[in-house]
Amino acid sequence: MSWSPSSGSGEEDEGIKSYRKGGYHAVRVGDAFAGGRYIAQRKLGWGYFSTVWLAYDTLSARFVALKIQKSAKEYSHAALHEIGLLSAIAEGDPSNSNCVVRLLDYFKHSGPNGQHYCIVLEFLGDSLLRLIRYNHNKGIGLDRVKNICRSILVALDSLHRKLGIIHSDLKPENVLLVSTINPEKDPVKSNFIPILERPEGNLNGGFPFTVNEKKLMIKTRRALVKISKRRVSMGGYVEFERSLDGIDLRCKVVDFGNACWFDKQFADEIQTRQYRAPEVIIGSGYSFSVDMWSFACIAFELATGDLLFAPKNRPGLTEDEDHLALMMELLGKMPRNIATTGSRSNDFFDKYGDLKRIRRLKSWALDRLLVEKYNFSEADARSFTEFLRPLLDFDPEKRPTAAQCLQNPWLQEPKEADA
């Protein structure tokens, strides 16, 4: 779930219908939680399980992220599972230096829709997805990619080697910068004065809009889109370049709602589609190395602005088949002993390890892709490929660990600072 401070998740909002028994808790600016300790300031984002609010902790005098879970039993169980993982992470990292979001507190809150588990986390900034989009999906430069990769690998090393946790949903939305891209969105940097009580006449702070208000917002948005299109057609609109200078690239891995203990896995199908490892698709079991596959996909996306794999449903083919074909076009044929050993292998492969319904694959080596499509220099393409390619091995046991990646020559400090 993304809870970047300047955006919600993929859809525009979570919708009014989910504010009902068993669903979300309706929050208004100035609402108090935990006996008055936490005061809601503004909504940061939302996910299928919860909404996330910027809150002010009156006891420690700091801003925090308050994640309020839906109240139905299955969501409460999910919250307890996440709290267990986050508690272990916090206990294993007393100095808060392992680049993983920190659990600060948790409690139950009673509302009209039921009892909601609330998780209090340190306030962080924008997601890597927002950083990629902020730079118009052009890639952020390899030195910046290296800085971010180091932080993610420190987090994965801690989760895997020290704690035995598989994140299982690593993607740009689930890695947050420690501060916001725009300082005005940061409550500390912008000297935001915390709201300590519900403002007079505030009926709708974070509550779903009424139907009429919603219609007015949609009309206004459409009008603004028409104006911007007219500017483009009249030649009056110029896309401005955005500088990445000065942005703090330190980041932390967040969202452990789908994470699991290495020895207590509860789901066969894990990971968001574009970051899903081949062993998950074919059903051959998984371990820490699924996170390393996802990490490689993120590194490529940061460097190029594009998804490494973007499978689609095609006529006569499933999305899984297209995904496997894309992998094999870039990485070569999947070894037969890997391809044929999954519980779903017969859905995709014949006895020789060839795809049943896709016979012609267009091969394109990763280093050539970087040079010919993304204009990398030969040297940069070669060194980046040497870093990424082992992480994309079809054999999960051959992928390097996070600890091994941190020792990779490509990740050593750049000779020059970012331009």
What string of pLDDT tens digits covers the 419 residues of the chain?
444 443 344 456 788 889 999 999 999 999 999 999 999 999 999 988 999 999 999 999 999 999 999 999 999 999 999 999 999 999 999 999 999 999 999 999 999 999 999 999 999 999 999 999 999 999 999 999 999 999 999 999 999 999 999 999 999 999 999 999 999 999 999 999 999 988 765 444 444 444 554 555 455 456 544 544 454 444 444 445 678 999 999 999 999 999 999 999 889 899 999 999 999 999 999 999 999 999 999 999 999 999 999 999 888 899 999 999 999 999 999 999 999 999 999 999 999 999 999 989 999 999 999 999 999 999 999 999 999 999 999 999 999 999 999 999 999 865 544 43
Name the catalytic one among 31, 126, 157, 169.
169
How many angstroms separate the CA atoms of 222 and 218, rounded?
6
- Please name the fold of domain 128-181+247-411: Transferase(Phosphotransferase); domain 1 (1.10.510)
pTM over 0.75: yes
Cα distance between residue 223 and residue 109, in whole Å = 40
Domain ranges across the chain: 16-123, 128-181+247-411
Give which of 156, 154, 142 is closest to 417, Cα–Cα.
142
CB 276 within 8 A of CB 307: no
Q: Which residues are bridge partners to 53 per DSSP? A: 43, 66
List, in order, residues 6 or more apart from 277 with CB less than 8 Å away: 271, 286, 289, 290, 293, 294, 396
> Which CATH code is given to the segment(s) 16-123?
3.30.200.20
Say whether 291 is catalytic: no
The DSSP symbol for 355 reads B
Q: Can you list the positions of beta strands (E) in 123-264?
A: 165-166, 175-177, 251-253, 260-261
Using the structure block, give the residue that is written with the tokens 């859905």: 347
How many Å apart are CA 18 and CA 320, to the nearest integer? 31
Angle formed by the axes of helices 142-157 and 289-304, nearest 10°:
160
Q: Residue 214, annotated ligand binder?
A: no
Of 154, 331, 338, 395, which Cα lies nearest the Cα of 251?
154
Of 346, 39, 308, 288, whose CA–CA distance to 166 is shortest?
A: 288
